[in-house]
Each structure stands twice: as C-alpha cells, then as structure tokens.
Amino acid sequence: MSTPPRLAGARVGALDLYEYQGKELFRRYGIPVSDGRLASTPAEARRAAEELAGDVVVKAQVLTGGRGKAGGVRLAASPAEAEARAAEILGLEIRGHVVRSVWVEAASEIAKEYYLAVTFDRGAKKPLLLLTREGGVEIEEVAARDPRALARVYVEPLVGYLPYEGRALVHAAGIADVGERRQLLAIVEKLCRCFSAEEAMLCEINPLIVTPAGELKALDAKVTIDDSALFRHPDVAAMRDTSAGDPLEALAREKGVTYVHLGGSVGILANGAGLAMATVDLVVVAGGRPANFCDLGGGGRAEGVVAALDVIARDPQVRSIFLNVFGGLTRGDDVARGILAALERTAITVPLVARLDGTNAEEGRSILREARLDRLHVEPTMIAAAERAVGLAA
C-alpha cells in the first residue's frame, strides 16, 4: 500500500484499538472473552442479538473509557430491546467521541470485578504487571485511594515473562481462591504473550470478571500497539480506523481544549481566540506554517497548559511551540508557573518559545528565565517570539 503514514488512534506513536478489536486479539491468545458481533445500525444489533440468543450487552465502540457511566453500555433481554438500546447508543457523544458502532455480546453474570494490565514503566524500562481486586472503576481512582490495593510486579525484559512473576502478582493482590489463582496465572501468561508478540504498549482488562460459577473472563479490552512496530503486524495495522476524523481533534475534545489542526510545523498556544488567531497570522508573517490553532481560554492554570501542550506535542509535524499569553485577569507569574509545571508533567522534546505580556509579565518572564531550561526560550515581543519559533521549526 502506498498510503502515507498518518496519525494513530488518539495518540501519536501509538495505535489504540477498539474494545472489539482488543477482544479479537485476546481471543487469538486464548484469553476468555464473550461471543459477540459488531453492529453499526439498530437492525444489525437486533440480528446480532438473535444470533447470540439470550441476554446481551450493547456496548458503544469509542476510543475512550468511562462508557458505562456515560450510558454507552446497556443490557438487553431480547433482540427488540437490543435494537432499541443500539438506537439510543449509536450517535451518542462520549467524551467527545461519536459512537459509530456497537459491540453486541452475550451478557455475563458478574460476581467480582478485577483489574489486570501489562504496561510499560518507562522509568524502570520494564514491562509492568498490574492487578487489583478492585476493578471495574478507573484504575487511577484505586491507585489514589489505596495504593496498596494495586499489586505491581515487573517482568524481566531480557528474559521474558516467567511464571513466578505471575505468582508474585496474584499473591500480592491477595487472590486467595485456588480456582481463581489457577485461571489468573493462565490469563496473565497469555496477556504477556499478547503484549510482547503484538508489540503492545498496553494490554488492559477492566473488568476481568469472576462469574458466579467462578469463571474468569475479560469483559473489556484496552490495547495500545506501538506505531513503529506496526509494519510487522499488517493485520493489526488494518484495524486502524480512518473514519473517526482527526484523532488529535478528538483527543482535544476529550481534554476540553479548543484545538483545530492546521498541518504546519509551528505549534500554537494562546489565551483567547483573538490572540490565538493573531498568533496564527504572525507565524505566517514570520515565514512559518502554523500546526494548529489552540485557545487556552482565560487563566493560565497548569492543568489547562498541560492538556493543551499534550495535544499539540502529539502532532508529529510540530517542530516548535509558540506560547503566546497576554495577562489581563491572568497573571504572568501564574502562567509561568503553569508552563513550568506543564513541562515537568509532559514529555515534550520540541523547543518552546514563550511570550508573556500584561499583568505581572516581568515576574513571569524571570520565573521562566530562572528555570534555565534548554528547550524553553523567552522572548519579549510577539514578533520576536514568532521569528524565534519559526526559526526553530525550520
């Protein structure tokens, strides 16, 4: 195929799979999942339910979590009900993602909800196994509320998964039941095989349920594959969705950032739509091409700056970022601290040019200068900053 490389999933450098695609992978590796069908119309959902027979669950297929809470996961006791639920779910917007298809699967009875994942710990440079008996909810909640409830065990990357690592994990999570332990060890092993063979960055099962009969099953699937490895996995590469629109714009919607992708190399972040538009113009005047329009809105809170920088930096075409803030009610020193906090919390590698003006601008500029970050350039005027950003992107 001669298709040019394009952005992956909601993240650059990674392909996020839909639940039904993740479950297809799980099934190939022998991880227990329910039988199901994909449907993009209510009539298809009805037919799926007829084929599956019995109670079904109708699940929105969007590249974001929290579907259950948003009304995107509904039980149906008959094909007619499945059709009705699908009609409600299709077209729904969940965290900025419009539902284009539903996964209809045989409903499961749930006695317990666990959480199991393999991910990378970039600090330790090792795959990390995570397991907790407090599944179902978002894992960040568990980690924040009771860190000890979340068992963490590393996989030795040069050796690959060994059963003792699984045993240590299951023990640390306090899984006492012998039957559950046996099934869990098998699933952990298969999930690790899937993780390394498919060159994944994340394989997450939340919830991993225990049925009243004591059987374990993956009720959800979140799989992220390393983009750089996709050429070795044409079957997975073909799972990429090209209909979901601009993935960065979807991610921005999810994070509540006002963002329009423009395709150039100078990322732009300004507060207020007017200033953001003027900044886009200025980059063009300075001979550059804006990568995006991004309005931070009022305030220079770290969270807003982090979210916006995160979106902008995921555009692989971005070579420099021009941050243009005029402090009216927003104070320059607050913005400066927001920028520094954002730089600490994001993995930005491209140079960032900051221009601060207005209230407490001088305080803000000196905070930035005193941080002495190589990739952070402070310029006093808009035009100087635009020229600097364009130069750095060349």
Which residues of this chain interact with ligand GDP, rule CB under 6 A? 57, 59, 65-68, 73, 107-108, 110, 113, 136, 206-207, 219-220
Q: Number of residues in contact with Mn ion, rule: CB under 5 A? A: 2
Q: In the numeric block, which tokens belong to residue 116?
A: 């199991």
Question: Nearest 5°: CA angle at 89, between 100 and 236?
Answer: 35
Which CB sits closer to ligand GDP, 188 or 219?
219
Of 44, 113, 165, 204, the catalytic one is 204
Partner whose binding site includes residue 264, from ligand GDP, Mn ion, none (CB under 5 to 8 Å by kind): none
Which CB sits closer to ligand GDP, 73 or 368?
73
Considering the rule CB under 5 A, would residue 105 count as an interface residue with Mn ion? no
One residue of 220, 254, 295, 334 binding Mn ion per CB under 5 A? 220
Considering the rule CB under 5 A, would residue 204 count as an interface residue with Mn ion? no
Partners of 14 in beta bridges = 11, 226
Partner whose binding site includes residue 110, from Mn ion, ligand GDP, none (CB under 5 to 8 Å by kind): ligand GDP
Of 115, 259, 379, 387, the catalytic one is 115
Considering the rule CB under 5 A, would residue 295 count as an interface residue with Mn ion? no
Stretch that binds Mn ion, among 5-13, 178-186, 220-228, 243-251 (CB under 5 A): 220-228
Give residue number: closest CB to ligand GDP.
68
d(CA 106, CA 217): 12
Exposure string over 2-38, b if 16+ CB within 10 A, otherwise e: eeeeebbbbbbebbbbbbbbbbbbbbebebbbbebbb
Considering the rule CB under 5 A, would residue 44 count as an interface residue with Mn ion? no
d(CA 171, CA 182): 12
Amino acid at 90: L
Smallest distance from the beta carbon of 182 to ligand GDP, in angstroms?
23
Smallest distance from the beta carbon of 363 to ligand GDP, in angstroms?
44
Considering the rule CB under 5 A, would residue 113 count as an interface residue with Mn ion? no
Q: In a 10 Å sphere around its CB, with 0-12 CB exposed, 13-18 middle and 19+ buried, how is residue 235 labelled?
A: exposed
Q: In a 10 Å sphere around its CB, with 0-12 CB exposed, 13-18 middle and 19+ buried, how is residue 230 labelled?
A: buried
Partner whose binding site includes residue 330, from Mn ion, ligand GDP, none (CB under 5 to 8 Å by kind): none
Considering the rule CB under 5 A, would residue 206 count as an interface residue with Mn ion? yes
Which CB sits closer to Mn ion, 62 or 352?
62
DSSP string, 145-212: H-GGGSEEEE--TTT---HHHHHHHHHHTT---HHHHHHHHHHHHHHHHHHHHTTEEEEEEEEEEE-T
- What is the signed CA dihedral for 94, 96, 102, 104, rounded to 10 degrees? -30
Smallest distance from the beta carbon of 205 to Mn ion, in angstroms?
8
Which CB sits closer to ligand GDP, 67 or 355?
67
Q: In a 10 Å sphere around its CB, with 0-12 CB exposed, 13-18 middle and 19+ buried, how is residue 384 labelled?
A: middle
Smallest distance from the beta carbon of 354 to ligand GDP, in angstroms?
37
Partner whose binding site includes residue 13, from Mn ion, ligand GDP, none (CB under 5 to 8 Å by kind): none
Alpha-carbon distances, residue 324 vs 51, 73, 165, 277, 284 (angstroms) = 57, 42, 49, 11, 15
Partner whose binding site includes residue 241, from Mn ion, ligand GDP, none (CB under 5 to 8 Å by kind): none
Look up 115 and say whether it is catalytic.
yes
Which CB sits closer to Mn ion, 115 or 322?
115
Taking the alpha carbons at both ends of the chain, their separation in whole angstroms is 30
Q: Which positions from 151 to 190 touch Mn ion by CB under 5 A, shown as an x/- string? A: ----------------------------------------
Look up 134 and say whether it is catalytic.
no
d(CA 116, CA 293): 39
Residue 122: how many CA atoms within 13 Å on its side-chain side? Answer: 3
Smallest distance from the beta carbon of 19 to Mn ion, in angstroms?
8
Q: In the numeric block, which tokens belong to residue 362?
A: 């001088």
Supply the DSSP symbol for 226. E
Catalytic residues: 115, 204
**Residues within the interface to Mn ion (CB under 5 A):** 206, 220
